[in-house]
Structure 1
Amino acid sequence: MPGQHDATEIVLDVCGLMPPEPMERVLEALADIGPGQRLRMLIDREPRPLYRILERNGDRYEAILRDDGIYDILITPAP
């Protein structure tokens, strides 16, 4: 399930995947992200362990729970 790419944002939908695959996919995408890009992760459960990893790495994130029960998480990698 490849992400959609544009100049500034990569969208990665990992809904329905069993742990640890969502975290693995997000960390791989972050490792390959280009300068000035952000990652938008869509997932059907709150990825609390991922938050700790992002904080430890200095990445910023904003998470919202949409009305349809999907967590929409915008991740901005550390410079």
Structure 2
Amino acid sequence: MILDNRCLEPPQPMMRTLAALEGLGEGEVLTIINDRRPMFLYEQLEELGYQQRTEQQPDGSFKIEIFR
């Protein structure tokens, strides 16, 4: 699943991401694309038991893959 959070004002990207994680099955990966590095989201993911990989894109956005 890919969630494009670009052009959204905070806290919308984090709210959308956390809502999408509720439907994430075991072994699935949620990929989000944000305008900025989601620093506050990382804390939430750790508390919820998720791992992530972040990669800055050539256009300056960030691709974050979230998984358990």
Task: Normalising by structure 1, report the TM-score.
Answer: 0.81
Q: Unaligned stretches of 5+ in structure 2?
A: none
Residue 56 of structure 2 corresponds to residue 71 of structure 1: no
- Aligned-residue RMSD, C-alpha: 0.8
**Distance across 2 between alignment mates of 1:61 and 1:49:** 13
Q: Which runs of 4+ in 1 moved over 3 A?
A: none
**Structure having the higher Rg:** 1
Q: Give deviations 1:16-61, integer Å, cap 9, x for gaps.
A: 0001110010000000112321100000101100000001111000
Residue 41 of structure 2 corresponds to residue 50 of structure 1: yes
**Distance across 2 between alignment mates of 1:26 and 1:44:** 14
Residue 26 of structure 2 corresponds to residue 29 of structure 1: no
- Name the % identity: 38
Q: Secondary structure at the match of 1:55?
A: helix
Q: Secondary structure at the match of 1:23?
A: helix
Q: Highest relative contact order (Cα 8 Å, sep 6+), 1 or 2?
A: 2
Aligned length: 68
